[in-house]
Structure 1
Amino acid sequence: MNTTNNSIEVKFPGAAGNQFGRNTYLTVIPFKSVERFLTVFPEVQRKINMSRVKQIAQYVIQGTLDRNYSFLSAVTASCRGAIRYDDETKQVSIDINSTLSINDGQHRIAGIKMALDTMKKDISKETDDSIKGNLMKRLERLENMHIPIVIFDKMDEQHEQQLFHDLNLLAAKPTKSVSLKFDNTDPYTLMAKEVSQDNHYLIKYGVETEKTQLRDNNPNLMLLSTLRNMISFIIAGNDKDKGSEDTLCLGNYDAWKNEIEEILDLLFESLPNDCNDRTKYIIGLAVTLQGIGKYIHSVRNGDDLNWKDYLAGLKDINWKHNNRMWNGYGGSYDDRLERFVFGGTGGGINGVCNALVENNRSKTITTSN
């Protein structure tokens, strides 16, 4: 803090510029200070989504762990009060009575606050001195992290509302496949990316990493998001798992990756050589591949047969669209399209899994005996 002309100022390192005739300042604020300087005014912000705040808080907490990648983009605010830039010291000076009104980033700021509060509560509850010491180090590291702030000067309420509109409604959101392609925090996504580049079957059939859906002229077998969910079904039995010590984490990642590679090899050895032909087989449908993943989880966790026998038995399954066996398992054959069509994602996944349980099990048992 500094006193200038009878006013008290808070100084931050930064830079100054001009955008469309308005003074603009760039600075960084420590996580531990965001609540003190940044404020949300309802008239220029939407209603906060606490579910999103919790997700960001968990993301922030995970970022204190080793080998994790966590990033928060700059928050945009407008200064309601006095602000200036000292070119000599390269500092942004804000009057202590000024307020920084958040125009974009309220969920990030709320997530940071929740992450700090959560870690403090965890520390107060912990009785193991070793664990408590580790948590305290992580909290100190978190408190001293900084978030970049872009500050606009001299904006009235209408301009703040327009700033919110432009930042939130004009930005182009990347497709889900592109988002997953560059995500290195979710262990299932990370594994999907790695096996898509390592497994010779996936290299042969192809994994689409850009588009959100596959048309008949796309030679790739599946989307990256489908592979991610398929792996999650195999390991955890569902596609919502975020990874944990009981499912997939850094400690068991390499072992699971080797297991997934073997499972994929056995699976594709039992599927038709042209299984990526979506006009011929239902295999290239996202629900089918995820349903196969759920089926693999069920047989791997059974105790009546070696799970590899079940995968070998898939070679006797008729995967063609016109196979009436599929009727009743989450969809029906469409005579107009000349294809089997699933009624919904969840029902289709369960339908494929149930179809394989009921039709592959008896064949596998007969063959094994």
Structure 2
Amino acid sequence: MVAGTNEGTRPLSELISRGDTTELQVKAFLCNNLGHTTFLAKIPMYEFYRMSDVANERSEHGEPVAQRKLDIKHATDLARYILKGLIATTILQNSEDRGPIMKARERLREKIGKQPYLALQPIVANLRTAGVNGSNLRAQQLETKDHEGIGIRLWLGQKDILWVVDGQHRRKAIQMVIEFLEEARLEQKYPPKKQSLFPHNKDDRAIPHDELSVWMECYELTRGHCTVSVETHLGLNIIEERQLFHDLNNLAKKVEKSLALEFDSSNPVNAFIKEILIDSGLLKVSSTEKVDWEDDDGSMTRKDIVAINAHLILNKSNINGAAPALVKDRLGVAKRFWEAVVQIPGFGEEKAKLTTVSAQPVVLKAIAKLTYDFALGRQLNAELLDKLLDGITDIDFSHDNPMWRYYQLTNQEIESYGLNELGKYLPDNSTGNRDVGNFDAETKRMRFGAKHNDIYPIIGDMIRWKLGLPNRQEIRN
């Protein structure tokens, strides 16, 4: 630590500095993290991006090595999250405004989605130029009126780079947000749809004047009001930096999937599940990840409910990246689907899984996929949708319905059960594994397999045949 008093150089614990007006001043708290000196600073997003880089080139013998490969999709999701937070901030800061700009703010928030709370976790960095315990830093102790130390003021030059050890995706997300806002400000057009962080009309990329004003507000927030917290370690060597990266990324325990889904209100599909399906009492949610058939109270795991709705609303196996504007227009169909499903005899009742195969998630995924096809997909047809949702209560979803075990039946059994025509709707048994599950002849229970993505299309074909819906095999040919 270089001192500006007659006493000369002092250690970091005795902070006094000589200022340099060409350097950036950063206010921080001096901390002790398990015996090591660190400082904790809040830095405007824009400034943090400008003065930081990712510690991905350091290795023990000088060869290039990355801490981990950058996942651009993850960074893009984080960028949208930050953008959502900036829009929410403009609304909070202007809560008394009732003019046209507030309407634009609320319109943008409606498109990108809203949630109860938004925040970024602190970023961890290493200031390599700081020296051991900050011996090369120039700093000044800040005092209150009673002369008690409350923090420090640091002077950082252009060579003093904050090397990000944990937070490279957050830094990349901040960069993407800044570039998006700068392009919107200069071009007054949204970027091409695939490159845009914000959903917009791909045929007219021009930004309306009121929306442009909101983006200008967001840009200004990144340069001042909205900050990131950065815990900075001082002068770590290669081994120490790599150890810190390992510990920060490997010692945390991942949250259970169902718990994460229960707590997340930001995803519009999740919000639909909570507000329309669960809070209204339409569905019961299990408190455990797995439901024992013998102790089944008619509930479903949240994970299964989410997966079914992903097929129903998005035609995907997960709800990641669900756009609020897209989901909003599909919720009517989704609600109608569930209102039809709960009418299936035995569904949602005690010991439902012992009573009806419709209580098995893979069966509901099959019906959900059909609903998507007829309501939103390439086979869009209102009459077929009505035929499906009005007819599912007429289907025999009992375990001993031979339709479910078609591939296990002999030709004679197929004929005796009247399933000859069903074969035309199903994939050829010779082209792959058609093991959709196991029927226990003793208990008369049909338990479908775990490979849902292979099984639910086949169950969908069985339902198509039973309700006289178009044959998927003929459509594909």
Per-residue deviation, residues 103-154 of structure 1 (Å, max 9, x unmatched):
1111111111112112323442514451433332333334442111112224
Sort the Cα spacing of 1:320 and 1:275 in 2 relative to 1 into closer, same or farther, 3 A: farther
Establish whether residue 50 from structure 1 lines up as the match of residue 50 from structure 2.
Answer: no
Note the alpha carbon deviations across 1:316-353, whole angstroms, 9 max, x for none. 22223443312457643425695333362222232333
Q: Deviations over 1:260-288 (max 9, x none)?
A: 44542332123425376334433233322
Superposition map of 1:306-321 within 5 A: 307-308=385-386, 310-321=388-399
Amino acid at match of 1:5: R
SS in 1 for 2:74: helix
SS of 1:222 mapped into structure 2: coil
Find the counterpart in structure 2 of residue 367 from structure 1: none
- What are the residue-to-residue correspondences of 1:223-238 with 2, within 5 Å? 223-238=301-316
Change (3 A) 1:229 1:139: farther
Structure with the bigger percentage of strand: 1
- Report if aligned partners of 2:344, 2:393 keep a CA contact under 8 Å in 1: yes
The alpha-carbon deviation at position 257 of structure 1 amounts to 5.3
Mapped partners of 1:20, 1:207: distance in 2: 42
Instruction: State the distance in 2 between where 1:305 and 1:57 align.
Output: 41
Give the aligned partner of residue 42 of structure 2. Answer: 28
RMSD: 3.1
Counterpart residue number, 1:80: 128
Moved more, 156-165 or 212-221: 212-221
Q: Pairwise mapping of residues 260-339 of structure 1 onto structure 2 (< 5 A)?
A: 260-273=334-347, 274=349, 277-300=352-375, 302-303=380-381, 305=383, 307-308=385-386, 310-327=388-405, 331-335=435-439, 339=446
**1-structure distance, mates of 2:84, 2:334:** 25
Which SS does the other structure have where 1:233 is aligned? helix
Q: Residues 157, 333 of structure 1: CA spacing in aligned structure 2 closer, same or farther, 3 A cutoff?
A: closer
**Shift in alpha-carbon separation, 1:264–1:85, aligned structure 2, 3 A:** farther
- SS of match in other structure, 1:325: helix
CA distance in 1, matches of 2:350, 2:448: 17
CA 1:170–1:53: 2 relative to 1, 3 Å: same
Q: Which residue of 2 aligns with 1:107?
A: 169
User: What's the CA shift for 1:171?
Assistant: 0.3
Name whichever of 286-295 and 239-248 sits farther off. 239-248
Q: Distance in 2 between matches of 1:71 and 1:276?
A: 42
Match of 2:264 in 1: 183
- CA gap 1:70/1:357 in 2 versus in 1, 3 angstroms: farther
Q: Normalised by the size of structure 1, how large is the TM-score?
A: 0.81
Q: Kindly indicate whether residue 215 of structure 2 is the aligned counterpart of residue 153 of structure 1.
A: no
Q: CA deviation at 1:94?
A: 4.4
Paired residues of 1:281 and 1:321 also in contact (CA < 8 A): yes
Q: Which segments of 5 or more consecutive residues in structure 1 lack a partner in the other structure? A: 363-369
The 1:142–1:192 alpha-carbon spacing in structure 2 relative to 1, beyond 3 Å, is: farther
Residue pair 1:322, 1:340 contacting (<8 A) in 2 also: no
Q: TM-score, normalised by structure 2?
A: 0.65
Structure 2 partner of 1:133: 213
Q: Secondary structure at the match of 1:319?
A: coil
Residues 1:188 and 1:198: Cα distance change in structure 2 (over 3 Å): same
Per mean C-alpha deviation after superposition, the further-off stretch among 88-97 and 311-320 is: 88-97
Report deviation, 1:32: 0.7
What stretches of structure 2 of length at least 5 have no aligned partner? 5-16, 60-66, 88-108, 131-136, 144-149, 190-205, 408-425, 427-433, 470-477
1:121 aligns with 2:194: no
| Aligned residue in 2 for 1:165 | 246
**Residue pair 1:281, 1:320 contacting (<8 A) in 2 also:** yes
Of 86, 90, 96, 1:64 maps to 86
Alignment: residue pair count: 351
Distance 1:298 1:139, change over 3 A: same
Deviation, 1:76, is: 0.9
- Going from structure 1 to structure 2, the CA distance change for 1:285 and 1:191 (only over 3 Å counts) comes to same
Deviation of 1:305 after TM superposition, in Å, equals 2.9
Contact 1:270 1:314 in 2 (8 A): yes
Would the aligned equivalents of 2:268 and 2:324 in 1 still touch at CA under 8 Å?
no
Distance in 2, Cα, partners of 1:173 & 1:153: 29
Q: Is the 8 A contact 1:267 1:312 kept in 2?
A: no
Using a 3 Å threshold, how does the CA distance of structure 1 residues 15 and 220 change in structure 2: closer, same or farther? farther
